[in-house]
């Protein structure tokens, strides 16, 4: 064992605090695993007076000076957000230091440029904690599955929304009530927008899709719908057809039509969807995360665990820290990302999806035929129809086969205008039905 490897920690919130604690508690094991001891060189925070738990000599407000210091070998960035994290990361690379980050927003926005900067400097950029917290997911995509062809990656990657949807299913509550409960229990932030509107999941989807399909995908390429429009009726309808409602991050390679000469495309979307209760993702309850992968050779794989929280996220950060420290000791850099496939992004309108639609209709001859005709007029094939009659009214529950999303949404708009349709009571996409 020689000189310790010295780590600059940027940010000391819930995750940073847990990283510091675990680095201290496990220092002996980490040294043995890496081949050199690891020491904290400094901790950059905005308000040093708010961190009595950190030795005062380590605290600094000058993050830039810390990352470029000669005695710093590795940088851990857990500030989050785009700036100043981006500038600090680039400064670290330019100074020859590897970076471990938990920053999904930055990696989803600018991952390719950051990887290029790291590669140019011959250092590492690892960010396992950015997607699905403790779950080892990015290294499996980047390394373990690097010899396979991936078809789809479908994840529940936001614990807040999964908690809310789970409570809606368990209690019959509406979205507002379930969100209030999640806020009271600390599962939802005071401003829940990033989680509830799907921004958090969209950033994670972009990172997953980039690695899965060797293609640069940014958050701007991801179609996004949150869960605030999901109603208790949607959840009840899902249960009636043997499904449950989840906010899914879906990354898929859509094959080009045979003989078209066109390349395959990549469709990446985040939206609530009904999935069969028999699907492995349906069993993921509460604030847990899971990612389901379909690969040509490996078949189906599922990764499950805690997607948030100080210690679970710190576990992923420390795993990366050990990896980049080992590379440093060996004098090598680990694998970066490859974007050689350059597959075009497929807009949601052209992405094949399936819909569930529930309608209140007049129960008289010809109504079902007229409704069915509207689907046919838009080229949408119906898979199943169920009718529940009550008096002169009836509820029609329709599940379609897959069709371009635009055809399905145009059909729903047309149904809302039909005189025989008294109301469209539930519309949700359906995933995972065979
Ligand atoms: N806010 C996220 C969630 C965790 O609810 O899962 C951090 O990405």
Beta-bridge mates of residue 384: 399
pLDDT at 203: 98
Tens digit of each residue's pLDDT (9 = 90 or more) over 134-149: 999 999 999 999 999 9
As a whole number, mean pLDDT of residues 114-126 equals 98
pLDDT at 9: 98
Task: Check pocket membership of 195 for ligand 1, CB cut-off 6 A.
Answer: yes
- Tokens encoding 242: 């043997």
By percentage, how much of the chain surpasses pLDDT 70?
100
Give domain 138-306's CATH superfamily: Dihydrodipicolinate Reductase; domain 2 (3.30.360.10)
Residue to substitute in 198, 308, 314 for testing ligand 1 pocket (most ligand atoms within 8 angstroms of CB): 308
- Tokens encoding 20: 């510091």
Residue 392 has pLDDT above 90, yes or no: no
Inter-CA distances, 132 with 62, 190, 217, Å: 30, 21, 18
pLDDT at 92: 98
Position 158 confidence tier, pLDDT thresholds 50, 70, 90: very high
Q: What is d(CA 434, CA 419) in angstroms, rounded to the nearest whole number? A: 33
Supply the residue whose CA is at minimum distance from atom 4 of ligand 1.
Answer: 308
As a whole number, mean pLDDT of residues 312-330 equals 98
Contact 404, 350 (CB under 8 A): yes
pLDDT at 391: 83
pLDDT at 91: 98
Atom of ligand 1 nearest to the CA of 289: 6
Distance 27 CA to ligand 1 centre (A): 28
Distance 133 CA to ligand 1 centre (A): 8
Task: Check pocket membership of 313 for ligand 1, CB cut-off 6 A.
Answer: no
> Which residue in the list 97, 104, 120, 204 is annotated as catalytic?
204
Distance 307 CA to ligand 1 centre (A): 7
Residue to substitute in 195, 219, 290, 311 for testing ligand 1 pocket (most ligand atoms within 8 angstroms of CB): 195
Residue 1 has pLDDT above 70, yes or no: no
Phi, psi of 245 (to 5 degrees): -100, 130
Render 79-100 in DSSP notation, one character per residue: --SSTTHHHHHHHHHHTT-EEE
pLDDT at 433: 87
Check residue 268 and give left, alpha or beta (phi > 0: left; psi -120 to 50: alpha). Answer: beta
Q: What is the second-level CATH architecture of the domain 349-430? A: 2-Layer Sandwich (3.30)
104 is catalytic: no
Q: What is d(CA 83, CA 250) in angstroms, rounded to the nearest whole number? A: 28
Kindly list the domain boundaries of the chain, sorted by start residue: 5-133+310-330, 138-306, 349-430
Q: What is d(CA 281, CA 292) in angstroms, rounded to the nearest whole number? A: 7
As a whole number, mean pLDDT of residues 113-121 equals 98
pLDDT at 271: 98
Distance 374 CA to ligand 1 centre (A): 40
Position 172 confidence tier, pLDDT thresholds 50, 70, 90: very high
Distance 187 CA to ligand 1 centre (A): 9
Residue 269 has pLDDT above 60, yes or no: yes
Contact 366, 136 (CB under 8 A): no
- Tokens encoding 294: 């379909």
Atom of ligand 1 nearest to the CA of 160: 5
Residue to substitute in 15, 107, 157, 158 for testing ligand 1 pocket (most ligand atoms within 8 angstroms of CB): 158
Residue 389: strand, helix, or coil: strand
Supply the residue whose CA is at minimum distance from atom 7 of ligand 1.
Answer: 308
Tens digit of each residue's pLDDT (9 = 90 or more) over 44-100: 999 999 999 999 999 999 999 999 999 999 999 999 999 999 999 999 999 999 999
Position 390 confidence tier, pLDDT thresholds 50, 70, 90: confident
Residue 389 has pLDDT above 90, yes or no: no
Atom of ligand 1 nearest to the CA of 163: 5
| Mean residue pLDDT across the chain | 97
Task: Check pocket membership of 158 for ligand 1, CB cut-off 6 A.
Answer: yes
Distance 279 CA to ligand 1 centre (A): 23
Task: Check pocket membership of 215 for ligand 1, CB cut-off 6 A.
Answer: no
Supply the residue whose CA is at minimum distance from atom 2 of ligand 1.
Answer: 158
Distance 308 CA to ligand 1 centre (A): 5
Q: Which fold has domain 5-133+310-330?
A: Rossmann fold (3.40.50)
Task: Check pocket membership of 160 for ligand 1, CB cut-off 6 A.
Answer: yes
Atom of ligand 1 nearest to the CA of 104: 8
């Amino acid at each position: 064992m020689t000189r310790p490897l010295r780590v600059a920690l940027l940010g000391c919130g819930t995750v940073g605090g847990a990283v510091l604690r675990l680095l201290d508690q496990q220092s002996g094991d980490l040294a043995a695993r890496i081949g050199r001891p690891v020491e904290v060189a400094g901790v950059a925070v905005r308000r040093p007076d708010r961190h009595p738990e950190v030795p005062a000599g380590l605290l600094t407000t000058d993050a830039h000076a810390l990352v470029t210091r000669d005695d710093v070998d590795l940088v851990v960035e857990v500030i989050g957000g785009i700036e100043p994290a981006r500038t600090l990361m680039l400064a670290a690379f330019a100074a020859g230091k590897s970076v471990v980050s938990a920053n999904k927003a930055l990696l989803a926005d600018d991952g390719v440029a950051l990887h290029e900067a790291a590669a140019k400097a011959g250092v590492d950029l690892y960010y396992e904690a950015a997607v699905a917290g403790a779950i080892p997911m990015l290294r499996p995509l980047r390394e373990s599955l690097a010899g396979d062809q991936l078809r789809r990656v479908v994840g529940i990657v936001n614990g807040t929304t999964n908690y809310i949807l789970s409570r809606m299913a368990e209690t019959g509550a509406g979205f507002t009530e379930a969100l209030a409960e999640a806020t009271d229990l600390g599962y939802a932030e005071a401003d829940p927008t990033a989680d509830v509107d799907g921004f958090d999941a969209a950033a994670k989807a972009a990172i997953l899709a980039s690695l899965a399909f060797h293609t640069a995908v940014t958050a701007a390429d991801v179609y996004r719908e949150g869960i605030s429009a999901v109603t208790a009726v949607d959840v009840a309808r899902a249960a009636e057809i043997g499904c449950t409602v989840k906010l899914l991050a879906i990354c898929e390679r859509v094959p080009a039509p045979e003989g078209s000469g066109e390349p395959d495309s990549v469709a990446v979307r985040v939206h609530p969807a009904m999935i069969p209760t028999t699907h492995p993702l349906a069993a993921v309850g509460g604030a847990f995360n899971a990612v389901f992968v379909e690969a040509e050779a490996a078949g189906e794989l599922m990764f499950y665990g805690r997607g948030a929280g100080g210690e679970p996220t710190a576990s992923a950060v420390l795993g990366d820290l050990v990896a980049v420290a080992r590379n440093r000791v060996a004098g090598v850099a680990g694998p970066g990302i490859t974007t050689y496939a350059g597959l075009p992004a497929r807009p949601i309108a052209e992405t094949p999806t399936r819909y569930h639609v529930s309608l209140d209709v007049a129960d008289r001859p010809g109504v079902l035929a007229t409704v069915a005709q509207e689907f046919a007029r838009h080229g949408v094939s119906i898979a199943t129809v169920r009718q529940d009659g009550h008096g002169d009214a009836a509820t029609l529950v329709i599940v379609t086969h897959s069709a371009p999303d635009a055809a399905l949404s145009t059909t729903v708009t047309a149904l809302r205008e039909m005189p025989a349709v008294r109301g469209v009571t539930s519309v949700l996409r359906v995933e995972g039905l065979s």
